[in-house]
Amino acid sequence: MNEAMRPTERFSDRAGVYTRGRPTYPDALVAHLRSEGALPDGAVVVDIGVGTGLSAEPFLRAGCSVIGVEPNAAMRAVGDERLGATGRYRSVDGRAEATTLASAARSSSSPARPSTGSIPSAPAPKRAACSRRAAGPR
């Protein structure tokens, strides 16, 4: 299968460039989730498709722990190098449909979602609001 057909390998040879060129996520994301009661203090956030960890940064700055799930080894390595020293970040080799995280680590009331992970204590409407990626203009 050629590279165009393997989306999980698309950025393998340009993970560093991706990190330098991609905008960061605003701290307002965490503030909003907290104001909605969807992100308790000391939360563990599972970031599905974490890439180089840019989306994990606001959660780490806010004191959360983050488990990044990423199938692309090169992207994951950049994230590990950038964020590993925080002591609250670790990554695993996995995909949305197979995170490799133990089922006991996931909340039965809140399935993992792309980018914002699992918010265990959030009621259903708040979980839905957290499921959209907090990206820049489309």
DSSP code per residue over 19-37: HHHSPPPPTHHHHHHHHTT
Q: Return the biggest CA–CA distance within the chain.
A: 46
pLDDT tens, position by position, 116-136 = 444 444 444 433 334 333 333
In a domain, 137, yes or no: no
Whether pLDDT at 70 is above 70: yes
In a domain, 10, yes or no: yes
In a domain, 29, yes or no: yes
The CATH number given to whatever domain includes residue 44 is: 3.40.50.150
In a domain, 78, yes or no: yes
- What's the average model confidence in pLDDT over 74-78? 92
Range of the domain at 75: 3-97+108-130
Distance of CA 44 to the CA centre of its chain: 11
In a domain, 85, yes or no: yes
In a domain, 138, yes or no: no
In a domain, 41, yes or no: yes
- Residues whose CB falls within 8 Å of the CB of residue 119, separated by 6 or more in sequence, listed in order: 33, 38, 39, 43, 45, 110, 126, 127, 130
Residue type, 82: R
In a domain, 103, yes or no: no
Domain count within the chain:
1
Task: Please provide the average confidence, as pLDDT, over all residues in the chain.
Answer: 74
